[in-house]
Amino acid sequence: MDRLRVEVGEEVTLDVRGGRTVRVTPHMHEALTRIRVALVATAQARAITTYKALNEATGRPYALAGLGPVLDVLRVDCSRRGEPPLPSLVVRVSTHEVGDGYVGDAPADRADCWHHWDRGRRE
């Protein structure tokens, strides 16, 4: 997998959080690398995952409540690649819906993810 499109030390502006800025720390960058790999595999399986399952599968890099901003930075990474937003694949266990901070049409974004990564496997 190629490297992330966000860099350690970069101040990333999160349009989805009212322009809030998040600094990419070494810890976040390393966690994003694992999270991206896990979510690409989820997309290739045409599946969804929960915040809890994603956190456990990637070594619990953050408290569950702390995953939102990290996934928002991943959304920026996806955008810079011209890819659909992988965070659309992450849902709450209780509702199977994305978290309150998600901006966009999650079902459509999910379908775009499944199509994008399915197409990538055939090429």
Q: Which domain holds residue 108?
A: 11-122
pLDDT over 70, % of the chain: 93
Residue 40 covered by a domain: yes
Please check the confidence at residue 101 and state whether its pLDDT lies above 90.
no
Residue type, 108: A
Compute the average pLDDT of residues 81-96: 96
What is residue 1's three-state secondary structure? coil
Q: For position 19, what pLDDT does the model report?
A: 80
Please check the confidence at residue 1 and state whether its pLDDT lies above 90.
no
Kindly state the DSSP code that residue 25 receives in the 8-state scheme: -
Kindly state the DSSP code that residue 114 receives in the 8-state scheme: H
Write the DSSP string, 16-85: GGTTEEEE--HHHHHHHHHHHHHHHHHHHTT--EEHHHHHHHTT--S-GGGHHHHHHHHHHHHHHHT---
Residue 77 covered by a domain: yes
Q: What is the pTM of this model?
A: 0.91
Residue 2 covered by a domain: no
Residue 82 covered by a domain: yes
- State the Cα–Cα distance between residues 88 and 110, nearest whole angstrom: 5
Please check the confidence at residue 122 and state whether its pLDDT lies above 80.
no
Quick one: tokens of 10? 């970069």
Quick one: tokens of 43? 């997309």
Tally of domains within the chain: 1
- Kindly report the CATH number assigned to the domain that includes residue 49: 1.10.10
Residue 6 covered by a domain: no
- State the Cα–Cα distance between residues 36 and 64, nearest whole angstrom: 16
